[in-house]
Amino acid sequence: MRKVFQEELTQVGDQLVEISRLVSEAMDKATTSFQVADVDLAQDVIAADARIDFLQNSLDERAIDILALQGPVASDLRMIVGSLRMSASLERMGDLARHIAQLARLRYPSTVIPASMTETFNRMAELDQEIADKLTVLLESRDLEVARDILKANTAINDLHLSVFKAIAAPEWSESPATTVDVALASRYFERFADHGVSVAQKVTYLVTGAWQPNATEHS
């Protein structure tokens, strides 16, 4: 029975990695569609989100079955409960990538962001992609140095997010109301994506160390 139990735990971990890879792919395509107004790529992201949702539901059902049938304790219990919470964060990251793609599709054939904000959003996209890629590495390796890299990238995104809101609130901002809303929404999507990445990184840290961080990011 113990061997079966360990195999089930391994399968939960493998599913987390698979979801993380799909989220990374979704963000890569979403940011490309966002930057160059590629409506076909945006549609790919929107359609593929159903796969992330399906895998999250499958993982959660497996984890709940383990809780009900195996009665895990200590570190195994932390692993299962942590996996349930991490899968929710990863699923939300997939949703946020979809939101970015939906913005790109909405404004096609124009790009979403005005030229004055291109550099800022390109950097946010780059940092979000770094977080997404590193999450997969972290889930596979449990290397806490990777978790620290994710936290650093999130800090940089928070600074960029703040700069966006300062820009649109400045007297010299002259874009249309629709563009202003798009810029604010897009910045929020990129910032929230990173926050959920931090949430996953903190839960992995907890699984490795057994010490919960009281300032952990828990966002919906």
Phi, psi of 17 (to 5 degrees): -65, -40
Q: How confident is the model at residue 8 (pLDDT cuts 50, 70, 90)?
A: confident
Segment 81-116, tens digit of pLDDT: 899 999 999 999 999 999 999 999 999 999 999 999
Of 117, 60, 51, 97, nearest in space to 190 by CA: 97
Question: What confidence score (pLDDT) does residue 2 get?
Answer: 63
- Grouping H, G, I as helix, E, B as strand and the rest as coil, residue 215 is coil
pLDDT band at 215 (very low <50, low <70, confident <90, very high): low
| Statement: residue 28 has pLDDT above 70 | yes
- Would you place residue 219 in the very low, low, confident or very high pLDDT band (cuts 50, 70, 90)? very low
Q: Any idea how long the chain is?
A: 220
Q: Assign 214 to helix, strand or coil.
A: coil
Q: 214 vs 92, 142, 201, 206, 217, CA distance in Å?
A: 22, 20, 14, 11, 9
Residue 43 pLDDT greater than 90, yes or no: yes
C-alpha 182, offset from chain centre: 20
Tell whether pTM > 0.85.
Answer: yes
Rounded CA separation 172/175 (Å):
9
Cβ pair 134, 149 in contact under 8 A: yes
H or E segment to which residue 194 belongs: helix 177-209
> DSSP string covering 163-175, please?
HHHHHHHSTT---
pLDDT band of residue 68 (cuts 50, 70, 90) is: confident
Question: In the structure, what pLDDT confidence band is assigned to residue 211 with cuts at 50, 70 and 90?
Answer: confident
pLDDT at 9: 86
Rounded mean pLDDT of 15-39? 98
pLDDT (tens digit, 9 = 90+) per residue, 146-175?
A: 999 999 999 999 999 999 999 999 999 999
pLDDT tens digits for range 173-203 = 999 999 999 999 999 999 999 999 999 999 9
Which of residues 184 and 9 earns the better pLDDT score? 184
